[in-house]
């Protein structure tokens, strides 16, 4: 009787999104283990993700499934059913992104090895949203994004640039080669730093394994591309205070970040455990309140749907490369890892397509004397 109650509740929630259990549409969920209902309502988002990793359910087009969830009334029901009071309390009481925990995401997500990222990403290995306004390929979208950022930052030869969360050095290399600037790139991932140093060899670029809070020098320009999602709401003010402290008068900083429509204090439990430990997405008000009084807002650019397209390109590359990855690295990439990574990419794509997740580029200045002209 209890199991039937869980199933009936699941049917009611999914019906709000036009999804049927064992239905015939490409977005309908196909259940292989009837224990899934109890598992999901007992463990929420963690139970949903882990049951997918375990093969308890499938959807022909997983991205469509999540798009329907995120773009319907089902989203509110899911969030209420999946709320984890203990995790929320932990996030409010402790600082999940404090200095002691900041490097966890580097070890958990980026230090899994560079192989998967080399295969999944574009030729420059840019692990953030591409800009698809005029682009037709993933490589073009990422190059257009880098050029867009350089123009927004008004880069000029000889400028000193800080890249917070520099990844594998893609932006640093592009900016130095095209604009003649000098870059300090910081990351908390040993694997990223190792490959980044190889990628930028011979260029005026310094790659460091360093927390942004430990940087103590001045820069003309500061950029952060896809790193702010790891900062945490308790540290937003600290982040912008540090940026303001490091930025020369007349300087420009650009923040490229994923966000969400409503303020939260933690990420979902599945993503926390398997993908981005201690990560969370900021809301507009959380960001604005944090930089108020420190920096001046010049531009807020939203191109959220471009991330949907970027993620689908990453998924295509990942899927095509999977047979090789599995064969070459059998101890690192197994079938459960495949389903975990697929779930991560598809729930992300559905979140953007369903307008639950957002992508922003925010330009801020410090004592900037000239009129700032926005770039698109």
Model pLDDT for residues 157-215, shown as the tens digit of each residue: 999 999 999 999 999 999 999 999 999 999 999 989 999 999 999 999 999 999 999 99
Q: How many CB atoms lie within 10 A of CB 332?
A: 13
Cα separation, 74 vs 16, in Å, equals: 5
Share of residues in the chain with pLDDT > 90 (%): 79
pLDDT at 85: 47
Q: Is the pLDDT of residue 106 over 50?
A: no
Mean pLDDT of 321-344: 94
Structural tokens at position 115: 């192989």
Find, among 354, 360, 277, 311, the residue nearest to 78 by Cα. Answer: 354
Fold of 104-307+354-366: Rossmann fold (3.40.50)
In the predicted model, what is the mean pLDDT of residues 264-275? 87
Task: Say what the pTM is.
Answer: 0.90
Where would I find the H helices in the chain?
A: 2-15, 36-53, 62-70, 74-81, 85-93, 104-108, 115-120, 138-152, 170-179, 190-199, 236-246, 269-274, 284-291, 305-328, 335-353
DSSP 8-state code for residue 360: E
Can you tell me the mean pLDDT for 256-263?
95
Domain boundaries, the chain: 1-83, 104-307+354-366
pLDDT at 268: 84
CA distances in angstroms from 298 to 160, 238, 368, 375, listed in the order given: 21, 20, 10, 11
User: What pLDDT is attached to residue 107?
Assistant: 47
Could you count the other beta carbons within 10 Å of the beta carbon of residue 289? 15
The average confidence (pLDDT) of the chain is 91
What's the pLDDT score for residue 100?
A: 54
How high is the pLDDT of residue 42?
87
A 10 A CB-CB count for 298 gives 18
331 pLDDT above the threshold of 90: no
- In this prediction, what percent of the chain has a pLDDT beyond 70? 89
In terms of Cα–Cα distance, which of 329, 163, 311, 306 is closest to 246?
Answer: 163
Rounded Cα distance between 65 and 248, Å, is 47
Compute the average pLDDT of residues 15-31: 97
For 279-325, write each residue's pLDDT tens digit. Answer: 899 999 999 999 999 999 999 999 999 999 999 999 999 999 999 99
Angle between helices 335-353 and 62-70 (to 10 degrees): 40
Write phi, then psi, for 147 (nearest 5 degrees): -65, -40
| CA 334-336-337 angle, 5° bins | 65
Which whole number is the average pLDDT over 123-134?
97
Other beta carbons within 10 angstroms of residue 302's beta carbon come to 13
Average pLDDT over residues 111-129: 89
Q: Grade residue 73 by pLDDT with cuts at 50, 70 and 90.
A: confident
């Amino acid at each position: 009787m209890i199991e039937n109650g869980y199933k009936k509740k699941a049917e009611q929630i999914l019906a709000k999104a036009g999804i049927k259990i064992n239905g015939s549409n490409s977005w309908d969920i196909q259940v292989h283990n009837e224990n899934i209902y109890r598992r999901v309502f007992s463990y929420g988002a963690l139970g949903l993700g882990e049951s997918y990793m375990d093969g308890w359910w499938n959807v022909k087009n997983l991205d469509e499934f999540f798009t329907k969830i995120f773009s319907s009334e089902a989203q509110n029901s899911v969030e209420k059913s999946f709320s984890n009071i203990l995790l929320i309390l932990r996030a409010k009481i402790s600082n999940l992104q404090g200095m002691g925990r900041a490097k966890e995401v580097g070890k958990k997500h980026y230090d899994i090895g560079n192989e998967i990222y080399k295969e999944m990403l574009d030729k420059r290995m840019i692990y953030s949203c591409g800009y698809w306004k005029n682009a037709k390929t993933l490589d073009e979208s990422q190059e257009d994004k880098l050029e867009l950022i350089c123009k927004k930052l008004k880069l000029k030869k000889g400028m000193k640039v800080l890249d917070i969360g520099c990844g594998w050095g893609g932006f640093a290399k592009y900016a130095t080669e095209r604009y003649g600037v000098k870059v300090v790139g910081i990351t908390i991932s040993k694997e990223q730093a190792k490959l980044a140093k190889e990628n930028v060899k011979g260029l005026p670029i310094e790659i460091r394994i360093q927390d942004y809070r430990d940087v103590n020098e001045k820069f003309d320009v500061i950029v952060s591309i896809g790193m702010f999602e790891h900062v945490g709401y308790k540290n937003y003010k600290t982040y912008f205070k540090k940026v303001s402290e490091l930025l020369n008068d007349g300087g420009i900083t650009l923040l490229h970040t994923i966000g969400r429509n409503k303020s939260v204090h933690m990420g979902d439990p599945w993503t926390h455990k398997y993908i981005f430990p201690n990560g969370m997405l900021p809301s507009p008000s959380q960001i604005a309140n944090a930089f108020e009084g420190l920096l001046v807002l010049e531009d807020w650019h939203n191109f959220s749907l471009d991330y949907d397209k970027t993620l689908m390109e990453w998924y295509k590359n990942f899927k095509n490369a999977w047979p090789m990855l599995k064969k070459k690295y059998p101890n690192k990439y197994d079938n459960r890892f495949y389903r975990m990574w697929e779930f991560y990419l598809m729930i992300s794509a559905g979140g953007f397509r369903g307008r639950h997740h957002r992508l922003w580029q925010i330009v801020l200045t410090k004592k900037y004397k000239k009129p700032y002209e926005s770039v698109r």
